[in-house]
Amino acid sequence: MTRDVAIIGVGMTKFGEFWERGYRSLITEAGSKAIIDAGIDGKDIDAVYVGSMTPGRLIGQEHVGALVADYAGLTGIPATRVEAACASGGLALHQAFLAIKSGLYDIVVVGGVEKMTDVSTEHATVALAGAADQEWEGFHGITFPGLYAMMARRHMIDYGTTEEQISMVAVKNHANGKLNPNAQFQYEVTLEDVLHSSMVADPLRLLHCSPITDGAATVVLASSEKAKKLCERPIWVRGSAIATDTLSLHERKSITRVEASIVAGKKAYEMAGVKPDDIDFAEVHDCFTIAEILAIESLGFCKMGEGGKTTENGETRIGGRIPINTSGGLKAKGHPVGATGIAQAIEATWQLRGQAEKRQVKGAKVGLAQNVGGSGATCTVHIFSPEK
């Protein structure tokens, strides 16, 4: 038995540094907003999935599924925590999609949450480094800025990509984030600002990197039968795929190709019955600005090696050929890692409903979300549309 699956409700917190708020407060707010948006009651919900990468190391809290069910007033129903590093939210969405597609459930709430600012930057960096290969990378002191710096430098050597082109991703995404009331950074930066920001891991500078963020995001998924009854404007999940690659960077044939994204993208396109040219906008995983360039190449929005030129030509801006990260992306919207994949789906939903306000992509019919874990060892790709 297979059924169509739709998003019927969305809700998220603002992303940022919230010293006065806790983990459960954030996910409860996002969940409440999504349930209200869907027009449903707690008794209608069959299950909950929650993406959260590392609450144990950041706030000392595990057993997250039960915690979320408890504070949502939903004790008794199945509640599952899903973890895939920074792709935890995307994987939670994929698991919920499969559960409804199979006929097991009719309505599922899918959340993502992370509380990251209660610890020092050093502590958070070590916790996030758990998404890398601990024996071959973490043990030797490598962190994700270093890993992505190597990917960026190799891309520069192989394809002539410039630091200016990598910096243009940040300029664009901050311009988009300025238009997003939920974004952590609602201000623009200039190319000079980016190029003169402090060096983190050569060639990546501070303004090439996404921030440490608190936040939560939730969507409500429903089967086609329930969606038609409950929602005037369901957004259909037409494609949902996941793929993996080697955990460590040095084991890959190429560090400038995100193979998990290539494979997941092809599977999602096939499931949805679309091609890259059919996508009107995409939210991609720009944990570092080079990651956006790698993403648009791996998803077929440009040829391999031409991501920098595509960005420089303005093709990825709102109003361009393929708007990328209209929300501001991880760079400006923020990156509470477990919530990121769900927030991407919410931006896609708002765009396809025509509710993205000043950052609206005109005539948007098909959107894509790409969520990456680690340096590319896990990738989920989802494709959304108001039409089946």
In the chain, DSSP assigns E strands to 5-12, 47-51, 79-82, 107-114, 199-201, 204-205, 215-223, 235-244, 281-283, 367-373, 378-385
Please pick, among 86, 231, 287, 302, the residue that the annotation labels catalytic: 86
Mean pLDDT, rounded, of the chain: 97
Q: Measured on CA atoms in the order 41, 43, 46, 52, is the torsion positive or negative?
A: positive
- CATH number for the domain including 74? 3.40.47.10
pTM of the model: 0.98
Q: Which H or E element spans position 269?
A: helix 259-272
| 244 strand-pairing partners | 378
Please pick, among 208, 335, 379, 382, the residue that the annotation labels catalytic: 335
Q: Is residue 362 part of a domain?
A: yes
Q: Is 155 a catalytic residue?
A: no
Q: Is residue 125 part of a domain?
A: no
**Distances, alpha carbon 150 to alpha carbons 144, 189, 303, in Å:** 10, 25, 21
Clarify whether residues 226 and 202 are in a common domain. no
Q: What is the pLDDT of residues 21-75, one digit of tens each?
A: 999 999 999 999 999 999 999 999 999 999 999 999 999 999 999 999 999 999 9
Is the pLDDT confidence value at 118 over 60?
yes
Rounded Cα distance between 261 and 247, Å, is 14
Clarify whether residues 197 and 281 are in a common domain. yes
Q: Is 86 a catalytic residue?
A: yes
Burial of 388 by CB count in 10 Å (0-12 exposed, 13-18 middle, 19+ buried)? exposed
What total number of domains does the chain contain? 2
Clarify whether residues 146 and 16 are in a common domain. no
Clarify whether residues 98 and 204 are in a common domain. no
Q: What is the pLDDT of residues 194-247, one digit of tens each?
A: 999 999 999 999 999 999 999 999 999 999 999 999 999 999 999 999 999 999
Clarify whether residues 222 and 341 are in a common domain. no
User: β-strand 107-114 against 215-223: which pairing, if any?
Assistant: antiparallel
Give the residue numbers spanning the domain of 152. 131-209+238-383
Clarify whether residues 224 and 242 are in a common domain. no
Rounded Cα distance between 365 and 368, Å, is 10
Rounded Cα distance between 284 and 369, Å, is 6
DSSP structure class, residue 380: E
